[in-house]
Structure formats: C-alpha cells, structure tokens
Chain A
Amino acid sequence: MKLFRMLGRSIRDAVKSVVRNFSLSLASISCITITLIIVAVAIIASYNVQNFTKEIERDMTIVAFVDNDADEEDVKEIESDIKSISNVSKYTYQTKTEVKEKMQAESDVFNTVLKNWSDEESPLKDTFQIKVKDVEKLKQTAMRIQSIDKIAVVRYGSGMVDKMIAAFNQVEKITYGIVIALIVVTVFLIVNTIKLTISARRREISIMRLVGASNFTIKTPFIIEGMILGLFGSIVPVLITMYGYTAFYNHFDGYLYSQLIQLIKPEPFIYQVSLAVIVIGIIVGMIGSASAVRKYLKV
C-alpha cells in the first residue's frame, strides 16, 4: 500500500518535471528517438540478414557430376561412397535425361536449345545433389566427394555466398558500433536533463532529506522521469517499425532484389522489434537518470 502511494507520488513528480523542463526534455526525447530509429533499423536489418543467410545455408547443395563414361555399376559405387561420408544428410541422383527435362520445364529458352540435343550430344552429366549436415564443413565434404573415382567435377556455391555473409557481418558490426556510440551520447544527454531537474529541485530535495525521506523516495521520481523520456522517445521509432517495415515488405513483395533474399514476414516480427525498442528506450532512460542521480544527489 505504502509503496504504491510513494510510487504514485513519484510518477506525479516525474511527469510534472518533464512538462516543466519541456525544452530540455524534448532535446532528450529527440536524441532517444534518433538513437532508437537507428537501433530499430539495425535490429530489423540484422534479423533479416540472419534469416536469409540461414535460408541460403540450408539450401547449400554440393553438386557432383559423374564422368560420362561411368556405367551403372560405377554409379552404384559412387552412391555407396557418398553414403559413407558422415556429413552427408541427404542426396538425390539425377540422370542427364532427368536434368534435361527439369531444365526444359524451367525455361522456354532452355527448352528450345535442349530439344535439339540427343543424349549423346548432350553436355549435361548425371549428377548427385548432396545436402550436408554441417555447412561449416561444406568444403571438406566437397573435397572428399571430389576424390571419389569417376567423379568429374564437384561444385558448391560457397564462394559468392561466403563473401556476402562476410560483408553482411561487417555491416552488422559497424551498425552495432554506431548504435553503442549513439546510446552513450543519449545517456549523456539524459544525465544532463536529469541534472537540471535535480538542481531545480535542490531545495525540495534538501528538505526531503531533513524530514526523513529515504534515499529510495528521493531517487525514484528522477529515475521514473528518465524512464518517461525513454518511453516518449520510443514512440516515433515504434511507429516507423510498425508502418515502415510493413510498407517496405509490401513494396518489395517480401523479396529483396532476388528470390534468394527473403524478408521476414511483418507479423509478429514488428511487434517483437517494437517491444525491444521500447524496452531499450526505457532502459537507456533509466541508466541515464540513475547515473545522474548517483553523481549529483549523493544521498
């Protein structure tokens, strides 16, 4: 009961103080807003990158082409060899006729070209398509398969994808750096805002101390004030996340540039991001005001 009463008083004081120091509060709120917008974009981007890199990794396939002169016996031997590799999770075998049919079905251009080729002329080869358990060991597994007799060429789409993932990781790191720097600046600004409130209420605080208010009672309004600033600062970023990401997703039909880069569906993703943004805003506000209180109140 008593705690609720005190809390009510703290909230009342905090709101009053935000309104009273409106210009400075607004400065803090805008700073939090900018920080949180970037944080939101960073979260959305990094989750999307993670999402589609996982997709790509899942799709990563080793294609082993069988020599043209291999007969059925050889194919069986190859198959048992592939089966014995521990990292192989799944494989399918396609004869060149099947590959041809598949390609013909995929596009008209291929269809007209491939129709004119007989089985002997065909540059296509019988193939094994192999999926692995552990993508990290993709290269080693590919090498193992390469060493099997009567395997002509082994291909795995690593090169380009590896570089892409590395680049995204780099971008992610830089984004984190920027976000941390911005949070530090924001905390600093909040410290100053709260400092001003504290000095405006210095007299009140000294009287509070004289009449026996506990430290908790004295500190709470300022910490709540910081949390309110954080909460207000997260309004615009949340709106941007909710409407902005949905619009972005709809505009690109859920894909970026190609079918390869698939975006995360807005629901429930935007709600999770919004919640994260609000929580970060409130925590940043709290950290700022708590450190201001510790520094300038010394109670």
Chain B
Amino acid sequence: MSDLIRLKNVEKKYKNGTTAIYDLNLAIEKGSFVFIIGGSGSGKSTLIKMLYREEKPTKGQVIVGGLDVAKLKNSKVYKLRRKLGIVFQDYRLLPKQTVYENVAFALECIGEKKEMIRINVLKALEDVGLKNKVHSYPDQLSGGEQQRVAIARAIVNNPKLLLCDEPTGNLDPEMSMEIMKVLEDINKRRGTTIVMATHDKEIVNKMKKQVVTLKQGHLVKFKQKGKYEDEAI
C-alpha cells in the first residue's frame, strides 16, 4: 500500500458529451516523480483535475492519499486539498500581495499560527530560492520567479503530493529548466510525490523520470525513465 494515487477503471465524460478519459488504471507510488504527457485533448489536464477534485470521475474510483475522491462531498473537498499542493501554468498569485503574503495566504486559510506561518513560509521560499525576494510584488518578478512563488505556496503546508498542470507552459526553456530543478529538489529533499502534466518534449527527455503517456483519453504507456515519443502527440 505504498501507492499514493490509485485509479481504477476511471472514465470521465463531460456534460457536452465528449469523453476525456477512457477506462484508466494507474497507480503512483509515494515519493515518485511522474510526468503525464500527451497532445492537446489527450486528457492529461482532466486527469490532474480529477486528482484534486476539480472534476469528478463519471465511472471508477480515484483514490488520493487514502481519500476516495469521487465520494468526497463538496463541503469536504478541503480535506483533500490540504494534503496536496497545486501549481498552474498561469501561476495564480494575488497581485496586490507580496511574495511572503502570497505564500502565507495558504497557511492563513487553514488557520495556522503566526509563528508557524513565518517558519514554514521562509523555509518554502528558501527551498525555491527566493528568500531575497520576500517583500517583492508578483509584477516585479520574472515569470520563472513567479512560478517559483506559486511552487512555494503549493509546498508550504508540507503536502504529500504536488500536482503541476503545465507549470512551464508560459516560460522559456532556460526558466523551465530552473523550475524543473526546483521541483526535482523538492522531490528529493522533501520526499514529495510530484505529478506533472506537460507537453514539453525537452524537459521530459532530460529529466528521465516516470512517464505516463495518454492519447485521446487512453493510457498508452507507463514507463520508468521514459522519453517523450512522437506517437504520443
């Protein structure tokens, strides 16, 4: 039972009739680093969304950290969200708050004590290498730095799982690699499981991590130390 995520016969059909995921079975171990790759419409975003219960599976079972996501009531979703961190392509920072406040926000929302917030926020910012930008505002930072703030916010409550939906989508290759270094570091040092959806070929090939390949809603391959293969696109 060292699987952090387990999907059994999962199917996702949207209300407009399109099916995003067909009969998906998947198990992801604790502490692993997994890429989910595939072209647009392959269902990788849907898969990520089901993991943090933005979407519910139409059929099957999604278990994340021991919680049955499909059976989770709307009012109890926060229990799942506190176990994981999420990073998006568009950073989703609060523009009128400083870097520190943005990261602290995640802990304030769950009622953490002030001293604890301070300690954890500074530690998270150190882990992403932004300790010297604590008092800056998001618009004073580069895209890569903003994404690192978002990562700091996602890991500040020490989650078991970090979900990344195209985190490098808005960044140039150099900054993308910077982000990947940060993520790899978090994976190694904190032991956080990372699931990252991406279509960036270069990153996947360089990192040599586990790769889940989706194609039009079907699982094509699940490889250790996988590469981005053209057939997936």
Q: Mark A residues whose CB is within 8 Å of B.
A: 2-3, 5-6, 9, 203-204, 206-215, 217, 299
Contacts and interface: CB of A to CB of B under 8 A. Distances in A.
A203 B105 CA distance: 13
Contacts, number: 54
Contact of B81 (A2, A9, A212): A212
Nearest to B52: A210
A2 B109 CA distance: 11
B139 interface: no
B109 A5 contact: no
B94 interface: yes
19 contacts: A5-B111, A5-B113, A9-B108, A207-B92, A209-B77, A209-B81, A210-B52, A211-B82, A211-B157, A212-B106, A212-B109, A212-B110, A212-B157, A213-B110, A214-B75, A214-B110, A215-B74, A215-B78, A299-B74
A204 B102 CA distance: 10
Nearest to A6: B111
A217 B157 contact: no
A213 B113 contact: no
B12 interface: no
A217 B111 contact: yes
B48 interface: no
B215 interface: no
The prevalent SS among residues of A at the interface is helix
Given A5-B111, A217-B111, A211 B92 contact: no
Interface in B60-93: 74-75, 77-83, 86, 92
Contacts of B94: 203-204, 207
Contacts of B153: 211
A215 B81 CA distance: 12
A3 B111 CA distance: 8
Nearest to B94: A204
Contacts of A215: 74-75, 78
Nearest 8 pairs of A and B residues by beta carbon: A212-B81, A212-B82, A213-B109, A211-B106, A2-B111, A214-B78, A212-B78, A6-B111
Contacts of B157: 211-212
Contacts of A210: 52, 81, 86, 92
Interface in B82-136: 82-83, 86, 92, 94, 105-106, 108-111, 113
A203 B108 contact: no
